């Protein structure tokens, strides 16, 4: 797990690039016309990810980066951070071009982000939050049954892993701060499943899409948990761009993403993600999150 702050590396490397450009200019002036080749001189497209999808995804992201690079004709690199907030901050400070964020940070920072694409899960851009408990716990049907227990959230900036359960509890007249004897964050949906499966927490809030995907990939783990309750549907965590993104760059990326189901390599990547494709998003997809955020905010001060 990475705990580091947003890395100063981009500015350092841009300095290097500047120095390299100056050198190149000097060489040109000297009459030595060298063709400008090599990708190191071009600013790579930087895409931020969190454990919004599955963790342990380095190999997959390398593969995806190569795919995107091949279709855009521009270097692409993924920047992974374990905390949602880090990616949000990087995007807000224009350190990232694109990011796969959760609906909750998007709704919170709508003015600073531009919706790029929304994944299609089981053909729809929607997902749910699951309340899971240990498979040995056959009683629990709602949050109220977990009073005095330990509880695992995924990330404080996660919709399905934090905001939705907060909303559900408040709506049921429960106080999320006092309901559990102890609650903690695992900063990944998969780790919420592990925490419940191994008995560290009695219950947990997890992204329904992640749980279902894990059930396909590592059924041994999910089999030790039981879905006690499913929330309403919400907008699937979208891909967004920084507000200041170049229009052609934005369109290019959107085209590549939505075109992924059209070729075998893209389909293969989508299959690994357990997704059907990417669609052009609509703003109202996230109205539901906006509503519950407003509800929760009025009920209690959120520590974000």
72/108 Cα distance (integer angstroms): 30
250 binds other proteins (CB under 8 A): no
* Stretch binding other proteins (CB under 8 A), from 48-56, 125-133, 187-195, 265-273: 187-195
- Type and span of the H or E element at 139: none
Binder of other proteins out of 45, 195, 205, 214 (CB under 8 A): 195
Total of chain residues touching other proteins, rule CB under 8 A: 16
The alpha carbons of the chain give a radius of gyration, in whole angstroms, of 21
Of 203, 63, 56, nearest to 144 (Cα)? 203
Q: Hey, which residues between 126 and 185 contact other proteins (CB under 8 A)?
A: 150, 152, 181-182, 184-185
Q: Does 200 bind other proteins (CB under 8 A)?
A: yes
d(CA 1, CA 166): 25
- Contacting residue, 88, 140, 186, 213, with other proteins by CB under 8 A: 186
In this complex, which beta carbon is closest to other proteins, that of residue 184 or of residue 295?
184
The secondary element (H helix, E strand) that includes residue 24 is helix 9-29
Restricting to residues 4-23, which ones interact with other proteins according to CB under 8 A? none
Contact flag: residue 295 with other proteins (CB under 8 A): no
Q: Of residues 133, 191, 270, 279, which one binds other proteins by CB under 8 A?
A: 191
CA 18 to chain centre: 32
Percentage helix, strand, coil, to 5, in the chain? 45, 20, 30
Q: Which stretch binds other proteins (CB under 8 A): 13-21, 114-122, 197-205, 263-271?
A: 197-205
Calpha distance 214→95 (Å, rounded): 31
- Distances 126 to 13, 53, 271 between C-alpha atoms, Å: 38, 14, 17
> Is 115 or 152 the residue whose CB approaches other proteins more closely?
152
Least separation in angstroms between residue 175's CB and other proteins is: 18
Contact, 130 vs 232, CB < 8 A?
Answer: no
* 225 binds other proteins per the rule CB under 8 A: no
Q: How far is the CB of 107 from other proteins (least distance, A)?
A: 26
Rounded CA separation 154/159 (Å): 9
> Should residue 291 be labelled a site residue for other proteins when binding is judged by CB under 8 A?
no
Which positions touch other proteins (CB under 8 A)? 1, 3, 150, 152, 181-182, 184-187, 191, 195, 198-201
């Amino acid at each position: 797990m990475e705990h580091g702050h947003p890395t100063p590396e981009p500015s350092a490397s841009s300095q290097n690039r500047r120095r390299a450009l100056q050198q190149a200019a000097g060489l040109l002036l000297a009459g030595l016309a060298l063709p400008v080749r090599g990708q190191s001189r071009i600013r790579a497209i930087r895409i931020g990810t969190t454990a919004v999808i599955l963790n342990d995804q380095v190999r997959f992201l390398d593969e995806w980066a190569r795919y995107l690079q091949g279709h855009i004709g521009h270097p692409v690199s993924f920047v992974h951070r374990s905390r949602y907030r880090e990616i949000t901050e990087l995007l807000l400070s224009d350190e990232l071009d694109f990011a796969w964020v959760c609906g909750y940070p998007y709704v919170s920072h709508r003015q600073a982000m531009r919706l790029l694409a929304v994944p299609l899960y089981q053909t729809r851009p929607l997902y749910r939050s699951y309340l899971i408990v240990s498979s040995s716990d056959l009683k629990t049907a709602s949050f109220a049954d977990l009073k005095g227990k330990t509880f695992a959230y995924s990330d404080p900036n996660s919709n399905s892993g934090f905001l939705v359960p907060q909303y559900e509890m408040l709506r049921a007249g429960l106080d999320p701060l006092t309901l559990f004897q102890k609650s903690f964050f695992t900063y990944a949906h998969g780790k919420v499943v592990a925490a419940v499966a191994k008995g560290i927490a009695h219950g947990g809030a997890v992204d329904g899409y992640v749980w279902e995907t894990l059930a396909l990939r590592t059924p041994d783990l999910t089999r030790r948990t039981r879905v006690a309750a499913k929330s309403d549907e919400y907008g699937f965590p979208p891909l967004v761009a920084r507000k200041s993104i170049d229009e052609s760059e934005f369109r290019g990326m959107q085209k590549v993403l939505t075109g992924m189901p059209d070729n075998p390599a893209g389909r293969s990547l989508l299959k690994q993600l357990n997704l059907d494709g990417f669609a052009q998003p609509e703003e109202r997809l996230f109205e539901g999150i906006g509503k519950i955020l407003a509800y929760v905010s009025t009920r209690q001060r959120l520590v974000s």
